[in-house]
């Protein structure tokens, strides 16, 4: 049987922290409801100490969403942990996620603490969180720039203190895939009580490697991946949930692991996030970008119309889209044009089709994308009924040349 990889969605916490992505209470609850349909194992709903709004959102989501674990973030401080528990206590499956930085640069310049103090602080925080909440996750912030011996030591101590999940964040997106895979392997081999906790990873995308690093971690024994819808998050974002999910789905034989994600909810989740925040994904974004299932080049259109597998490695339906899109533009061929005209109820003889195609190219040269309304104007008898003045002029000009 395949091993289950736990998906920890942090769209509402790490994602929401990114500039331009803040959401109000209602918006967060709406998104959390959609996330529940997507079926991640954990939803990190926010950072309760950070604001009253975040606190109320985590509390409301804890009350509303029952099928996923609800996590709340807390620094390794009493005030943070108390506030997180105050919000999370209503959840059916609550998790306090506490963290402290462990790299030399963070300990010296940010925390101004010694290694010993950080270790002691981490153990205290995990024990205290465990006294309140049945499930505690511990993160060693900036783990990939942390001395490996110290990382092993603090992970072992956090597990001994009661942490059920140990998270290894690549906080600044610095790791390369093979280094990150090796780090996961080292922890598995060197931490004596590692089998008593799940090993989680949290990869930022500063070098565009968030998804690759997460997959390498899984190949080397990681049990949980932290990620976000549309890859949003601090700076360049986090590993994109939709990309991870479709890598597992599309290349299933490559993995001894599987996810609980309902991939048909990927596109609806992505759209809802964009609609709520007003931040659109780039058109060529993998899986959920506008162009991810669109074809304009004639050769590709011809192939896809004959068999979609020629140029599509996954079906649009598998990510929640109703169909692929044949985009008509100046690169399109006769086959795609006549297929679309047929759908619109037009049929032309072979000779007529040649003329129609020429007219179509005349329009496509002026316009980037030729829409259905433009095509209706290709029937010369319909010109006078056309509402689109630009197309009318183009067609008249074209016909006058004949």
Write the interaction track for ligand KIV spanning residues 191-210; mark x where CB under 6 A is met and - where it is not: -----------x-x------
Kindly state whether residue 16 participates in binding Zn ion, applying the rule CB under 5 A.
no
Kindly state whether residue 226 participates in binding Zn ion, applying the rule CB under 5 A.
no
Residue 72 binding target from Zn ion, ligand KIV, none, CB below 5 to 8 Å by type? none
Q: What is the largest CA-CA distance in the chain?
A: 86
The count of chain residues that interact with ligand KIV, using the rule CB under 6 A, is 9
At closest approach, how far in Å is the CB of 224 from ligand KIV?
Answer: 12
Spatial distance between the Cα atoms of 307 and 329, rounded to a whole number of angstroms: 21
- DSSP state letter for 169: E
Write the interaction track for ligand KIV spanning residues 161-180; mark x where CB under 6 A is met and - where it is not: ------x-x-x---------
Residue 99 binding target from ligand KIV, Zn ion, none, CB below 5 to 8 Å by type? ligand KIV
Cβ nearer to Zn ion, comparing 277 with 338: 277
Exactly one of 14, 44, 170, 223 binds Zn ion (CB under 5 A); that residue is 14
Inter-residue contact 47 to 85 (CB < 8 Å): no
At closest approach, how far in Å is the CB of 97 from Zn ion?
Answer: 11
Q: How many helices (H) and strands (E) does the chain have?
A: 15, 12
- DSSP state letter for 70: E
> Any idea of the CA torsion for 118, 124, 130, 132, to the nearest 10 degrees?
-120
Spatial distance between the Cα atoms of 125 and 75, rounded to a whole number of angstroms: 8
Exactly one of 14, 80, 242, 296 binds ligand KIV (CB under 6 A); that residue is 14
Beta strands in 250-298 (DSSP E): 257-258, 294-295
Nearest to 140, CA basis, from 200, 191, 211:
200
Helical spans, DSSP H, in 254-297: 266-277
Residue 139 binding target from ligand KIV, Zn ion, none, CB below 5 to 8 Å by type? ligand KIV
Cβ nearer to ligand KIV, comparing 141 with 302: 141
List of residues 6+ apart from 309 with CB closer than 8 A: none
Cβ nearer to ligand KIV, comparing 57 with 394: 57
Kindly state whether residue 99 participates in binding ligand KIV, applying the rule CB under 6 A.
yes
Spatial distance between the Cα atoms of 90 and 66, rounded to a whole number of angstroms: 10
Kindly state whether residue 9 participates in binding ligand KIV, applying the rule CB under 6 A.
no
Cβ nearer to Zn ion, comparing 154 with 336: 154
Kindly state whether residue 16 participates in binding ligand KIV, applying the rule CB under 6 A.
no
At closest approach, how far in Å is the CB of 213 from Zn ion?
Answer: 13
Exactly one of 135, 141, 296, 302 binds ligand KIV (CB under 6 A); that residue is 141
Kindly state whether residue 139 participates in binding ligand KIV, applying the rule CB under 6 A.
yes
At closest approach, how far in Å is the CB of 168 from Zn ion?
Answer: 12
Cβ nearer to Zn ion, comparing 25 with 236: 236
DSSP string, 176-190: -HHHHHHHHHHHHHH
Instruction: Dihedral sign for Cα 32, 38, 43, 44, please.
Output: negative
Q: How many CA atoms lie less than 13 Å away from 281 in the CB half-sphere?
A: 24
SS3 273: helix
Cβ nearer to ligand KIV, comparing 99 with 360: 99
Inter-residue contact 230 to 266 (CB < 8 Å): no
Kindly state whether residue 379 participates in binding Zn ion, applying the rule CB under 5 A.
no
At closest approach, how far in Å is the CB of 108 from ligand KIV?
Answer: 17
List of residues 6+ apart from 224 with CB closer than 8 A: 5, 6, 7, 8, 41, 42, 165, 167, 198, 199, 200, 201
At closest approach, how far in Å is the CB of 238 from ligand KIV?
Answer: 8
Q: Can you read off the two tokens belonging to residue 37? A: 């349909």
Please state the length of the chain.
402
Cβ nearer to Zn ion, comparing 244 with 386: 244
Question: Which residue, judged by CB position, is nearest to Zn ion in the bound state?
Answer: 14
Interface residues with Zn ion (CB under 5 A) are 14
Which residues contact ligand KIV (rule: CB under 6 A)? 14, 99, 139, 141, 167, 169, 171, 202, 204
């Amino acid at each position: 049987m395949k091993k289950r990889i736990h998906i920890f969605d942090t769209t509402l916490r790490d994602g929401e922290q990114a500039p331009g992505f803040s959401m109000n209470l209602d918006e967060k609850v709406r998104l959390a409801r959609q996330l529940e349909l997507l079926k991640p194992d954990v939803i990190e709903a926010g950072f309760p100490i950070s604001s009253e709004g975040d606190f109320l959102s985590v509390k409301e989501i804890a009350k509303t969403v029952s099928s996923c674990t609800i996590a709340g973030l807390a620094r390794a401080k009493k005030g943070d942990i108390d506030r997180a528990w105050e919000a999370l206590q209503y959840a059916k499956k609550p998790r306090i996620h506490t963290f402290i930085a462990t790299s030399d640069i963070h300990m010296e310049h940010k925390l101004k603490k010694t290694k010993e103090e950080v270790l002691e602080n981490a153990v205290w925080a995990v024990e205290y969180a465990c006294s309140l909440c049945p499930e505690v996750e511990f993160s060693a912030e900036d783990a990939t720039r942390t001395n490996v011996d110290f990382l092993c030591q603090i992970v072992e101590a956090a597990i001994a203190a009661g942490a059920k999940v140990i998270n290894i964040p690549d906080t600044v997106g610095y790791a390369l895939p093979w280094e990150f895979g090796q780090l996961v392997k080292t922890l598995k081999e060197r931490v004596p009580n590692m089998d008593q906790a799940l090993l989680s990873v949290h990869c930022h995308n500063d070098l565009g490697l968030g998804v690759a690093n997460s997959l390498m971690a899984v190949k080397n024994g990681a049990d949980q991946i932290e990620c976000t819808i549309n890859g949003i998050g601090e700076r360049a974002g986090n590993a994109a949930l939709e990309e991870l999910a479709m890598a597992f789905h599309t290349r299933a034989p490559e993995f001894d692991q599987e996810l609980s994600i309902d991939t048909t909810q990927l596109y609806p989740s992505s759209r809802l996030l964009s609609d709520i925040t007003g931040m659109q994904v780039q058109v060529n974004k993998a899986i959920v970008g506008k162009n991810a299932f669109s074809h304009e080049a004639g050769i590709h259109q011809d192939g896809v119309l004959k068999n979609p597998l020629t140029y599509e490695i996954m079906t649009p339906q598998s990510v929640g889209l109703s169909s692929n899109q044949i985009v008509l533009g100046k690169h399109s061929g006769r086959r795609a044009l006549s297929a679309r005209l047929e759908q619109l109820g037009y049929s032309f003889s072979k000779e007529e089709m040649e003329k129609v195609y020429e007219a179509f190219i005349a329009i496509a040269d002026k316009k980037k994308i030729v829409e259905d309304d433009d095509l209706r104007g290709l029937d010369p008898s319909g010109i006078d009924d056309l509402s689109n003045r630009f197309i009318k002029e183009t067609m008249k000009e074209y016909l006058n040349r004949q």
